[in-house]
Amino acid sequence: MYLKNGKYYFSGQVPATQIAERYGTPVYVYEADLIERQYRRLQDAFSIPNARIYYACKANTNLQILKLLRSWGAGLDCVSIQEVQLGILAGFQPSDILFTPNCVSLAEYEMAHEIGTLINIDNISILEQFSQRFPGDKVCIRINPHIMAGGNSKISTGHIDSKFGISIHQLPHVLRVVESTGIRISGLHMHTGSDILDVEVFLNACDILFGVAASFPDLEYIDFGSGFKVPYKEDDVSTDVEEFGREISSRFQAFCASYGRDLTLMFEPGKFLVSESGTFLVRTNVIKTTVSTVFAGVDSGLNHLIRPMFYNAWHSIDNISNPEGRSRIYTIVGYICETDTFAVDRKLSEIHEGDILAFHNAGAYCFSMASNYNSRFRPAEVLIYQGKDYLIRRRETLEDILALQETDVLSLSPADHS
């Protein structure tokens, strides 16, 4: 979304205020051309013929976004069997899906195995159970390199106290399991965290993974996860994926030469692909002035966009109803009966009740983390594709909330329980 001649437009053609009026608010809007830009940019960063991008779909699981990425050649990284099932519905082949859960039971792995996905195991207990259940099968293992990476502790997954992955210090135990069961390790995986800015963090973890790889002669692929940082503010810094692509391509080619054959290089970006494509439109319910603060209260809350409260995440905000108005200072808050503050003391074009505000970088971990807290409805989702807008998820209704509830319990007699 950008400003042109005093109005905001999606993909240069669709007026942003028109979307708010047509579909109501709150509403998530995704620009397909921005997702494709990010996908092509990452794809072009690596000078390796057998490099593949697996979209980490927990960032945004809308079926239409999954279908777009599949059409461009992406694979799918799934952390639950439900995400696997969504991937199949979106048209992904099981062999193009990597199942990478955490702390799930063997039963969920068995379901993924029956579907035929690639299996990624991140703890020794499940590795032992899976190996005994499916001796001789191929699996990937997730390694914890013990590297603290990412924007903060909530999004760092490779440090020593993380619940994710098998510690590099447990490698002898893994090798004993492999030897005793005949399980074949066909892939190695790591993911150290999100919002990683320093390319050297990636490269150090890569060197650790290359060292681990020497212990497994049957590898077919190495998955380096993701965590690339995207810009959240004007002039914000982000991961230089082109520099990273050059560095990792050179190191990976050298590793393959020493390993004795070419392997597939895999990455699993989520936020990098979809975050910047998303805009969340809300309507201002009320301007409330206190002795110290001017609040702009909107028709949404932490039930729709929890990242500012959960991660202390920053989302740039624009008043698209009055883009050229005089600047004033506002604290933007929601309508949930909790402290759901989106932004404190932001300088915005003067806001009036009824104005539409746009939250940027809302394509990843926004709708996918939404809930029905306070019995509020989850919002609609709209896709801007080739200059046209499409409703890709309707707004919920009270019937949707009640659909799974038993409404006549109090009228039941004890005999009815049998």
Closest CA to 379 of 390, 364, 391, 361: 391
- The burial of 295, by beta-carbon neighbours within 10 Å (0-12 exposed, 13-18 middle, 19 or more buried), is given as middle
- In angstroms, what CA-CA distances link 280 with 236, 258, 276? 20, 48, 11
Peptide bond into 26 cis (omega under 30): yes
- What amino acid occupies position 170? Q
76 alpha carbon, distance to own chain's centre: 12
Could you tell me the two tokens for 234?
Answer: 């004007």
Could you tell me the two tokens for 222?
Answer: 């190495």
Task: Mark whether 140 is an active-site residue.
Answer: no
Residue with tokens 């520099």: 243
CA distance 359 to 379: 14
**103-136 burial, b for 16+ CB within 10 Å, e for fewer?**
ebeeebbbbbbeeebbbbbbbbebbbbbbeebee
Overall size of the chain counted in residues? 418
Contact in structure between 199 and 237 (CB atoms under 8 Å): no
Residue with tokens 């982000």: 238
CA distance 274 to 32: 9
Could you tell me the two tokens for 179?
Answer: 């030897």
Residue of 57, 206, 337, 366 marked active site: 337
CA distance 356 to 179: 62
Report phi then psi at 67, rounded to 5: -65, -40
Which residues, in sequence order, are bridge partners of residue 55? 76
Residue with tokens 């692909």: 273
- The burial of 312, by beta-carbon neighbours within 10 Å (0-12 exposed, 13-18 middle, 19 or more buried), is given as exposed
Question: Which residues form the catalytic set?
Answer: 337
